[in-house]
């Protein structure tokens, strides 16, 4: 596929003999665009085809995993974040979000919320204010699949971001360049697309932007209202003009699309500009409607190409949330306080990315400590008989005999991701031990299961 021209890569996926719409591709779509799906959803989407499946992911399901309607779910979870998160420690904030991800009727929305959290990486370790972090999280969720133009504008006024990048007291006499630098380098354009002078001038435009009592405030007396020249544009610009200037840069669409490529297609290889250009152009033509590149990528031939399957390493959050959702550990699910601690041991603490560049991702997720933590989490779940019974889940889907049970878990969790020898080993284990726990342990702790 890499040899094909970009237009072919991004053309609409039509199932055929070389790339049929099978269980592996349904599961692939859910792993990348959600957090792995339960058996009933895989079967439904297998039957209904790629277009209906993708549309449902874009729009969200009508009911959540806990049985509430999507609207009730949003109300409950927004309330939960406000009530419990207000004065909470980082672990509790993480737990609240993980809980939401496990039960959400709109997994793609949460994936994209997490994507923007990583893109506009802000850490509570410096912000030290749970309310501000929750407000920022709500901002990401509101615009996760919406308008990048609005999101870029709003994030510049977001108190958590301003605290994070030292812009809480951006005075005329001493402009702070941190936000101006990061918005160009990491949020909108990428390195090499701006000069130091552009940063200095943008910082002047941002003067007078303050955070007062946790709220964004503009103090006109502290704003430098002189003329500035930013990326070739000249005028008495304010902070609100900066996003407009950035979005006019040709590199802006390409920069965001490159990051989306890493999320949906592969975080192992670096795509060339030519490959990304059709998506970036469509993104700009759609006035930066985020749904456009997302839909284009998730419905493309490249997305369903054999070379794309299992070419991403699951992040700790994808790993644990996916496990809960696909194994239907929902009534009750695990304590998300504990799940948050487990994610931390695996190297990912939500609300605490390691730097403004976010998490490295990819192969950086895999090391000895992280793998041990992943294994321990899986073993802990399997041992928790009050929450998860591998036998009962398999029975629910008519897999009663050891061999059927092994097939069921292979299809649910890895599909065609195992080599024949490993499949044989799983089946032999099922027959030998007659213990469904052994089967699930073998799959969840396999290196192949760590791939999305």
Q: What is the smallest separation between the CB atom of 393 and other proteins, expressed in angstroms?
A: 16
Q: What is the smallest separation between the CB atom of 216 and other proteins, expressed in angstroms?
A: 12
Based on the shown chain and the rule CB under 8 A, indicate whether residue 108 belongs to the binding site for other proteins: no
Based on the shown chain and the rule CB under 8 A, indicate whether residue 388 belongs to the binding site for other proteins: no
Burial pattern 176-215, b for ≥16 Cβ within 10 A else e, equals: bbbbbbbbbbbbbbbeebbeeebbebbbbbbbbbbbeeee
Based on the shown chain and the rule CB under 8 A, indicate whether residue 63 belongs to the binding site for other proteins: no
- Rounded Cα distance between 388 and 426, Å, is 20
Token pair listed for 374: 């992943």
Outline where 312-435 has alpha helix (H): 316-326, 336-346, 368-383, 390-396, 402-413, 420-433
Cβ(207)–Cβ(175) under 8 Å?
yes
Q: What is the smallest separation between the CB atom of 39 and other proteins, expressed in angstroms?
A: 20
Q: What is the smallest separation between the CB atom of 389 and other proteins, expressed in angstroms?
A: 13
Closer residue to other proteins (CB): 95 or 260: 95
Point out which residues pair with 50 in neighbouring strands.
none
Closer residue to other proteins (CB): 36 or 430: 36
Q: What is the smallest separation between the CB atom of 310 and other proteins, expressed in angstroms?
A: 29
Closer residue to other proteins (CB): 292 or 340: 340
Closer residue to other proteins (CB): 125 or 355: 125
Based on the shown chain and the rule CB under 8 A, indicate whether residue 381 belongs to the binding site for other proteins: no
CA-to-CA separations, 19 to 5, 10, 50, 88, 271, in angstroms, rounded:
18, 15, 12, 48, 22
Q: What is the smallest separation between the CB atom of 379 and other proteins, expressed in angstroms?
A: 17
Q: What is the smallest separation between the CB atom of 61 and other proteins, expressed in angstroms?
A: 16
Based on the shown chain and the rule CB under 8 A, indicate whether residue 325 belongs to the binding site for other proteins: no
Based on the shown chain and the rule CB under 8 A, indicate whether residue 35 belongs to the binding site for other proteins: no
Describe the crossing of helices 107-119 and 250-264 by its angle, rounded to 10 degrees.
120
- Rounded Cα distance between 414 and 418, Å, is 7
Restricting to residues 326-365, name those near other proteins by CB under 8 A.
Answer: 330-337
- Rounded Cα distance between 326 and 412, Å, is 7
Token pair listed for 79: 């309330």
- The span of 54-62, 63-71, 146-154, 230-238 binding other proteins (CB under 8 A) equals 63-71
Residue 137 CA, chain-centre distance (Å), reads 12
Exactly one of 80, 227, 383, 392 binds other proteins (CB under 8 A); which one? 80
Based on the shown chain and the rule CB under 8 A, indicate whether residue 421 belongs to the binding site for other proteins: no
What is the number of other CB atoms lying within 10 angstroms of the CB of residue 411? 18
Closest C-alpha to 219, from 209, 227, 211? 209
Based on the shown chain and the rule CB under 8 A, indicate whether residue 400 belongs to the binding site for other proteins: no
Q: Please give, one letter per residue, the 3-state secondary structure of 145-170.
A: CCEHHHHHHHHHCCHHHHHHCCCCEC
Closer residue to other proteins (CB): 71 or 80: 80
Instruction: Count interface residues toward other proteins (CB under 8 A).
Output: 28
Closer residue to other proteins (CB): 165 or 329: 329
Exactly one of 22, 40, 83, 355 binds other proteins (CB under 8 A); which one? 83
Tell me which residues touch other proteins (CB under 8 A).
Answer: 66-68, 76, 79-80, 82-87, 92, 95-96, 99, 103, 131, 213, 330-337, 387
């Amino acid at each position: 596929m890499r040899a094909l021209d970009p237009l072919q890569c991004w053309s609409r996926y039509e199932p055929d003999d070389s790339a049929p719409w099978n269980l592996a591709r349904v599961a692939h779509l859910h792993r990348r665009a959600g957090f792995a799906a339960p058996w009933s959803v895989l079967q439904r989407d297998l039957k209904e085809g790629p277009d209906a499946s993708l549309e449902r992911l874009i729009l969200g399901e009508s009911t959540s995993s806990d049985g509430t309607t999507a609207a009730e779910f949003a109300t409950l979870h927004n309330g939960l974040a406000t009530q419990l998160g207000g004065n909470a420690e980082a672990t509790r904030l993480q737990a609240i979000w993980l809980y939401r991800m496990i039960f959400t009727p709109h997994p793609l929305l949460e994936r994209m919320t997490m994507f923007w959290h990583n893109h506009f990486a802000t850490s509570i370790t410096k912000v030290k204010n749970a309310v501000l972090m929750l407000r920022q999280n709500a901002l990401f969720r509101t615009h996760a699949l919406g308008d990048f133009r609005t999101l870029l504008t709003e994030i510049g006024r977001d108190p958590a971001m301003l605290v994070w990048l030292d812009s809480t007291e951006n005075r005329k006499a001493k402009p702070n360049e941190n936000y101006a630098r990061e918005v160009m380098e990491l949020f909108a354009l990428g390195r090499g697309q701006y000069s130091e002078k552009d940063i200095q001038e943008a910082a002047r435009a941002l003067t007078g932007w303050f955070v007062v009592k946790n709220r964004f405030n503009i103090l006109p007396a502290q704003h430098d209202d002189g003329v500035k020249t930013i990326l070739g544009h000249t005028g008495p610009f304010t902070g609100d003009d900066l996003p407009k200037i950035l979005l006019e840069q040709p590199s802006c669409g390409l920069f965001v699309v490159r990051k989306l490529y890493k999320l949906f297609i592969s975080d192992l290889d670096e795509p060339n500009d030519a490959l990304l250009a059709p998506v970036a152009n469509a993104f700009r033509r759609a006035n930066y409607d985020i749904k456009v590149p997302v839909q284009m990528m998730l419905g493309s031939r490249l997305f369903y190409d054999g070379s794309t399957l299992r070419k991403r390493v699951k992040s700790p959050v994808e790993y644990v949330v996916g496990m809960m959702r696909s194994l239907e550990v929902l009534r009750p699910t695990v304590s998300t306080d504990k799940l948050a601690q487990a994610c931390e041991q695996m190297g990912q603490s939500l609300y605490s990315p390691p730097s403004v560049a976010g998490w490295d991702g990819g192969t950086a997720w895999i090391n000895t400590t992280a793998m041990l933590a992943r294994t321990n989490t899986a073993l802990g779940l399997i041992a928790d008989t009050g929450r998860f019974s591998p036998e009962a889940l398999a029975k629910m889907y008519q897999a009663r005999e050891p061999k059927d049970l092994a097939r069921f878990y292979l299809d649910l969790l890895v599909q065609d991701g195992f080599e024949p020898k490993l499949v044989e080993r799983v089946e032999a284990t099922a027959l030998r031990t007659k213990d469904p726990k052994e089967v699930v342990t073998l799959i969840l702790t396999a290196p192949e299961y760590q791939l999305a």
